[in-house]
Structure 1
Amino acid sequence: MAFHEVRLPVRLAFGSTGGVERRTEIVTLGSGFERRSSPWAHGRRRYLIGANLRSLDDMATLTAFFEARRGRLYGFRFRDFADWTSGGPGAETGPLDQRLGDGDGMRTGFVLVKRYGEGEDALERRIAKPVAGTVRVAVDGAELGPGAFALDAATGLVTLETPPGAGAAVTAGFEFDTPVRFDADRIEVTLESFDAGRMAAVPLIEVRV
């Protein structure tokens, strides 16, 4: 998939709105009961950015970023300020935040994930765009040094130098970006004075990578 490993400048996301959407299909039976199903295993995030920009410099920066992505053609990284760490809101990132799996004495590769909810109903989201330099990994509660694992920041794959023993819990903490693309091929800017303007909200949509 066409993707640029670059993050939208954080200041351009201030004042953004957005959240998760899901797709649920509901059939109401003659008895009044419902049958509900979803073709999506995971939710998809949507955002609106740019509506609060007033500086012509910031609007020019967003326009240049839009042009460099060729509109909707190339995906990019986006910092979702409502969900960007492995821990809870305001919590410090730690190596025990998320369980990646258990060792079997041979496996060395583990994909970063984040869980939402508790128990059997929890949803596991794959984290494909971690922020390099923020990932901390532990095996059975003991944090590994930086040289004990390698991170592919473009896929979220962590490769351990030594395979964990059978049953050893592999955990990690990290910051991450959400992979998105522009969901429109047009940007609209209104000039309100010589040094200020107004921009119509620009939609973003999460992409699978």
Structure 2
Amino acid sequence: MAFHEVRFPANLSFGSQGGPERRTDIVTLASGHEERNTPWAHSRRRYDAGVGLRSLEDLEALIAFFEARQGQLYGFRWKDWSDFKSCPASRTVSAEDQVLGVGDAATDRFALMKRYASGEQAYVRPVAKPVAGSVRVAVAGLPQMEGSDFMVDTVTGLVTFFEAPARGARVTAGFEFDVPVRFDTDRIQVSLASFQAGDVPSVPVVEVRL
């Protein structure tokens, strides 16, 4: 997939509207009961990049970013200000935020993920675009050092240990992350007069599967 490892200007994504989207197929039976199913294992997020524009300089930055990505052609990173940490937004990232797995003395690679729980139900979201320098890792509760104990691939979200964690050792991590997205349009329509009057263009952005 054509993807640029560059983040959309965070000051422009701040205040943007958006969030997760699900797809559910619903069939209503003759009895009135419903059959529900989904073809999607994971949710997909959508945003509007135009909402955060506050000045002509912001508009120029948006157009420059749009042109450099050639519209929908290249994907990019997006900071979702409502959900960009492995922990609640009010807390500081900790090496024990998320459980990645349990060691077996052979597996040395673990994928970053974030768990969303409500009651007895939970959804595990793969995290493929961690922010460089933000990843904290622990094995059996003991903090590990990046560069000497493990390395992180910020392109794939994989954590690789130089020595496989011992059998039964819980592997945990904390991190900040971006959402892989692309523009969902090949056109930006803007009128300078209407923009100065407070009318901002709609610039849809959609999450991409990696």
Is the shorter-chain TM-score for this pair beyond 0.5, marking a shared fold? Answer: yes
Query: What are the Cα deviations for residues 80-105 of structure 1, in whole angstroms up to 9, with x where unaligned?
Result: 00100000121110000000001110
Q: Which amino acid aligns with 2:75?
A: G
Percent identity between the aligned chains? 57
CA contact (8 A) 2:26 2:36 kept: yes
TM-score by length of 1: 0.95
Matching residue of 1:21? 21
Shift, 1:51, TM fit: 3.1
Question: Which whole-Å CA distance do the structure 1 matches of 2:67 and 2:161 have between them?
Answer: 39
Matching residue of 1:167? 168
Question: Which whole-Å CA distance do the structure 2 matches of 1:157 and 1:52 have between them?
Answer: 32
* 1:40-79 alignment, distance < 5 Å: 40-79=40-79
- 1:88 and 2:88 matched: yes
Q: Which runs of 4+ in 1 moved over 4 A?
A: 195-198
Q: Which amino acid aligns with 2:99?
A: R
Matching residue of 1:130? 130
Question: Which whole-Å CA distance do the structure 2 matches of 1:51 and 1:9 have between them?
Answer: 13
Residue ranges of structure 2 left out of the alignment (5+ in a row)? none
Question: Which whole-Å CA distance do the structure 1 matches of 2:152 and 2:190 have between them?
Answer: 40
Question: Which whole-Å CA distance do the structure 1 matches of 2:15 and 2:109 have between them?
Answer: 38
Matching residue of 1:108? 108
Query: What are the Cα deviations for residues 152-188 of structure 1, in whole angstroms up to 9, with x where unaligned?
Result: 0000000011111111100000000000000000112
- 1:176 and 2:177 matched: yes
Question: What secondary structure does 1:158 align onto?
Answer: strand
Cα RMSD, aligned residues only: 1.8
Question: Which whole-Å CA distance do the structure 2 matches of 1:119 and 1:160 have between them?
Answer: 33
Q: Which amino acid aligns with 2:72?
A: R
Q: Comparing 54-63 with 175-184, which one deviates more in the overlay? A: 54-63
TM-score by length of 2: 0.94
The 1:156–1:52 alpha-carbon spacing in structure 2 relative to 1, beyond 3 Å, is closer
Query: What are the Cα deviations for residues 61-89 of structure 1, in whole angstroms up to 9, with x where unaligned?
Result: 10010000000010000000010000012
Residue ranges of structure 1 left out of the alignment (5+ in a row)? none
Shift, 1:121, TM fit: 2.1
The 1:170–1:119 alpha-carbon spacing in structure 2 relative to 1, beyond 3 Å, is farther
Question: What secondary structure does 1:89 align onto?
Answer: coil
Residue correspondences, number: 209
